[in-house]
Amino acid sequence: MSRFGATIFGCEGRRLGAAEAAFFREAQPFGFILFGRNIGDAAQIRALCDALRNSVGREAPILIDQEGGRVQRLRAPLATDWSPPLDFVSAAGARAERALFLRYALTAAELRRLGIDTNCAPMLDVVSEGTHEFLRNRCYGDDPALVARLGRAVADGLLAGGVMPVVKHIPGHGRSRVDSHLDLPRVTVSRAELERDFAPFRALSDLGMGMTAHLVYEAYDPRPATVSAEMLRLIREDIGFDGLLMTDDISMQALAGSLSERSAAALAAGCDVVLHCNGALAEMAAVADAAGAMSPRAQARAEAALAVRPAAAMLDIPALTAELEALF
């Protein structure tokens, strides 16, 4: 097997243009990611997924952020409009683990019907005092052990529905006081205090795909985790995550330098894949040129993740829906 490009890309609109298709054929990104700009009706989404995969000549993974609440790209009538995860967990109370399993199994079924096979969840960031509002209600709670259990339920629900989970944001975004889409968060607490943030990621380190956090952890390194060899060693050796590790969106303003410089720095630090989301062709060309093909180790991780990609599942949707409604 030839090596994948060390990239995951978005596309500009609801249909794949000829220039985009030609670029993807050459760049061979590992996979693709969809956003609201790509979403029309069901037939259009399926056609776009087919076109993306045809452009690279293989069943490339197609990712989406379908957390529920504010961060879900698919809305009714294409998919269920879920409450924010933190609100959902609070409402479910002692039944939250089962409720999340059911919620994300149903979400997986909705994704698979449209040709999407990967969801950027579970989100294992632990709520702390001052967690920024862009993140807070996307979290599952403020207790690391509970977050780990609920994150496992999310991952298991996705897998049961035939969708690959992507654990994020490793090694923990919960102490962010600013929005990393716009600025660089800095975490100033001690290494000992950071252990609570790392704990859920250790508990789910067996998952096959993960996403980094664009944060500075000053107790370890003045550079953001995505471009820090020290933080990547922590993720691999201390947290124990040996799955395919992608950056968070490389175009977020938490990172400095050109897109080419950011991409090269992330891969040099130890990331396997650069994620670029906005679909701008000129930007993607610069990222692809900087990223090149996956390293042999990254390729092995990518192949391992794809080897356990679940098949589309035949779920009893009415029964799962009735069970979930009964829990509330």
Ordered by start, the domain boundaries in the chain are 68-274+291-327
Distance CA 4, CA 193 (A): 38
Tokens of 169: 């944001």
Residues 269/275/281/284 CA torsion (nearest 10 deg): 20
The active-site residue out of 50, 87, 181, 206 is 181
Q: For 258-272, what is the mean pLDDT?
A: 97
248 tagged catalytic: yes
Which residue type occupies 135?
L
Rg (CA), the chain: 19
- Whether residue 181 lies in the annotated active site: yes
User: What is the enclosing helix (H) or strand (E) of 57?
Assistant: none
Q: Kindly name the residue from 248, 249, 272, 276 that is annotated as catalytic.
A: 248
pLDDT tens track for 41-51: 999 999 999 99
pLDDT in tens, 127-180: 988 787 888 899 999 999 999 999 999 999 999 999 999 999 999 988 877 776
**CATH class entry, domain 68-274+291-327:** alpha beta
pTM: 0.95
